[in-house]
Chain A
Amino acid sequence: MAKRILIVDDSASVRQVAGMALTRAGYEVVEAVDGQDGLAKLSGKLHLIISDVNMPRLDGIGFLKAIKANPSYKFTPVIMLTTEAGEDMKNQGRSAGAKAWIIKPFQPQILLDAVAKLVLA
Chain B
Amino acid sequence: MMPTDSVFVAALPILAKQIENARQQSEDAILALSTRFRGLVTRLDGAMAASEKGSGDGGRDLGNAMADGRTQLLTVIDALMAIRDSRAALITEIRSLNAFTAELADMGKEVEMIAFKTNMLALNAAIEAAHASGDVGRGFAVVANEVRQLSVASRTTGKCIVAKIEVITTALNSIVGANEQAVLKEAAAVKASETRIGNVLASFGGMTEKLLASAQEFRGEGEEIKNEVMESMVQLQFQDRVGQILSHVVERIADLGARGAASGGEAADERDGAADQYLADMAESYTTEEQRRIHLGGPAAEVAPQAAEFF
Give residues of chain A (10-32) contacting chain B, Cβ–Cβ below 8 Å: 11-14, 16-17, 20, 24
- Contacts A16-B34, A105-B237: A83 and B308 contacting too (C-beta < 8 A)? no
Least CB distance, B278 to chain A, in whole angstroms? 20
Let me know if A104 and B287 touch, CB within 8 A. Answer: no
In chain A, residues 49-77, which have Cβ atoms closer than 8 Å to a Cβ of chain B?
Answer: 53-54
Closest to A19 in B: B38
Given contacts A85-B289, A100-B310, contact A105 B34 (CB under 8 A): no
- B230 CB contacts on chain A under 8 angstroms: 20, 108
The residue among B30, B243, B310 with the most chain A CB atoms within 10 A of its own CB is B310
- Given contacts A16-B35, A108-B230, whether A113 and B244 have CB atoms under 8 Å apart is no
Tell me whether B233 and A17 are in contact (CB under 8 A): yes
Q: In whole angstroms, how far apart are the Cα atoms of A113 and B306 in the complex?
A: 13
Q: In the complex, are the beta carbons of A83 and B307 less than 8 A apart?
A: no
Residue pair B307, A110 in contact (C-beta under 8 Å): yes
Determine whether the beta carbon of A16 is less than 8 Å from that of B38: yes
Closest Cβ neighbor of A115 among chain B residues: B308
**Number of residues on chain A facing chain B (CB within 8 A):** 36
* Closest beta carbon of chain A to B244's beta carbon, Å: 6
* Inter-subunit contact A20/B38 (CB<8 Å): yes
How far, in whole Å, are A45 and B108 apart by their CA atoms in the complex?
A: 107
- Bound-state Cα–Cα, A16 to B38, Å: 8
A99–B236 alpha-carbon span in the complex (Å): 26
Q: List the B side residues contacting A93 at CB < 8 Å.
A: 311
Q: What B residues does A98 contact at CB under 8 A?
A: 311
Q: Report the minimal beta-carbon distance from A106 to chain B, rounded to whole angstroms.
A: 5
CB < 8 Å: which of B35, B237, B292, B309 contacts A14?
B237
Interface set, chain B 197-232, CB cutoff 8 A to A: 230
| Count, chain B residues at interface, CB 8 A | 32
Q: Is A39 positioned at the interface, with any CB of B under 8 Å from its CB?
A: no
Are A108 and B234 also in contact (CB < 8 A) when A12-B31, A114-B310 are? Answer: yes
CB-CB < 8 A to A53: which residues of B? 287
Q: Name A12's closest neighbour in chain B (CB-CB).
A: B31
User: Is there an interface contact between A107 and B305, defined as CB atoms closer than 8 Å?
Assistant: yes
Q: Does A37 sit at the interface, judged by CB under 8 A?
A: no
Which single residue of chain A is at the shortest CB-CB distance from B305?
A107
Q: Say yes or no for B106: interface residue by CB 8 A criterion.
A: no
CA distance A9 to B35 in the complex (A): 16
The reply to whether the CB of B240 lies closer than 8 angstroms to some CB of chain A is yes
A100/B237 in contact, CB under 8 A: no
B311–A101 touching, CB < 8 Å? yes
- Give the Cβ gap from A16 to chain B, nearest Cβ, in Å: 5
Alpha-carbon distance between A75 and B31 when the two chains are bound, in angstroms:
33
Set of chain B residues within 8 Å of A20, measured between Cβ atoms: 38, 41, 230, 233
Name the residue of chain B whose CB is nearest to the CB of A98: B311
How many Å from the CB of B132 to the closest CB on chain A?
129
Q: A20-B233, A99-B311, A101-B311 are in contact. Are A83 and B241 (CB under 8 A)?
A: yes
* Chain B residues with CB below 8 A from A90, complex form: 309
**A-binding residues in B (CB < 8 A):** 27, 30-31, 34-35, 38, 41, 45, 230, 233-241, 243-244, 287-289, 292, 303, 305-311
Q: Can you list 20 pairs linking A and B with CB atoms under 8 Å apart?
A: A11-B27, A11-B243, A13-B27, A13-B31, A13-B233, A13-B236, A16-B31, A17-B237, A83-B244, A85-B288, A86-B292, A90-B309, A99-B310, A101-B308, A102-B309, A107-B305, A110-B305, A111-B308, A114-B308, A114-B310
